[in-house]
């Protein structure tokens, strides 16, 4: 493929599928397509088995008022993948406006090169038979460097994610310990409060008993006093009766 053809406007790129009607993809539509493609890959256990996601992407595009069939979606992804691979081989990734999005997808998922057709394979075989030149060797070196860079970036991202995951786990553990400590303090405070309430209830009960005992004792004293007064009155009556009887006898 010539450099001129690589510089064509992707917003007007057409994806043909065995003589079917072509579809015009705008820049926004293509950007949405790649985002949906990446989201659907996250849902799959094996990103290489992408057959079932074309219908899902086609349906999701309708939410953005974009009408594309599953075949049109599939061949657009194939075309973008082909262009991405060519940019890796030539090192002209700056000419491909969707290179960053495609590179992010390839860096995250093990997406293989299943989008190349037989014609492209034969073209590569033909190029392989041609003698090496300085530009070809340079482009292949840049391609290897690009692949190594992607591997390093992916390893760095994975390490960063593992580190962040470890930090999150430690943070969650510390939060759990803090919650446990707070619960323990609350339980201790509740226990002390209940104990204090029981002690107060016991004190009130003791005071109530003492008050009842004091009242009963006072009642008993009053009763004894009344009894003593009654006895004195009776004794006085007896003395008076004795005097009356004695006076009558005389």
Segment 169-189, tens digit of pLDDT: 898 999 999 999 999 999 999
Choose between 246 and 8: higher pLDDT: 246
Choose between 223 and 126: higher pLDDT: 223
Please answer whether residues 12 and 24 qualify as being in contact, where contact means their C-beta atoms are separated by less than 8 angstroms: yes
Q: What is the pTM of this model?
A: 0.39
Q: What is the mean pLDDT of the chain?
A: 76
Give the domain range for residue 17: 3-130
How many folded domains does the chain comprise?
1
- Judge whether 10 lies within some domain: yes
- Judge whether 17 lies within some domain: yes
Q: Per-residue pLDDT tens for 139-171?
A: 555 566 777 777 787 787 788 888 888 898 898
Of 5-14, 59-68, 86-95, give the lowest mean pLDDT range.
Answer: 5-14
- Judge whether 138 lies within some domain: no
pLDDT at 176: 92
- Judge whether 241 lies within some domain: no
Would the pLDDT of 119 be above 50?
no
């Amino acid at each position: 493929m010539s450099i001129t053809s690589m510089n064509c406007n992707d917003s007007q790129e057409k994806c043909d599928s065995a003589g079917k009607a072509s579809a015009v993809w705008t820049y926004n539509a293509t950007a949405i397509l790649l985002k949906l493609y990446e989201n659907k890959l996250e849902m799959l256990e094996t990103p290489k088995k992408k057959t079932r996601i074309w219908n899902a992407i086609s349906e999701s595009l309708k939410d953005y008022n974009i009408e594309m069939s599953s075949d049109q979606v599939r061949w657009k992804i194939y075309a973008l993948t082909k262009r991405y691979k060519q940019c890796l081989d030539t090192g002209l990734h700056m000419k491909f406006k969707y290179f960053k999005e495609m590179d992010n997808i390839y860096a995250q998922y093990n997406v293989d090169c299943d989008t190349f057709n037989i014609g492209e394979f034969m073209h590569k075989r033909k190029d392989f038979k041609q003698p090496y030149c300085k530009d070809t060797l340079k482009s292949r070196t840049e391609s290897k460097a690009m692949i190594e860079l992607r591997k390093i970036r992916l390893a760095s991202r994975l390490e960063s994610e593992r580190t962040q995951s470890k930090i999150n786990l430690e943070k969650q553990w510390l939060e759990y310990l803090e919650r446990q400590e707070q619960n323990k303090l609350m339980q201790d405070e509740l226990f002390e409060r209940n104990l204090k309430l029981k002690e107060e209830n016991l004190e009130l009960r003791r005071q109530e008993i003492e008050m009842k005992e004091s009242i009963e004792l006072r009642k008993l004293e009053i009763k004894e006093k009344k009894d003593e007064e009654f006895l004195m009155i009776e004794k006085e009556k007896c003395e008076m009766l004795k005097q009356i009887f004695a006076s009558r006898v005389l």
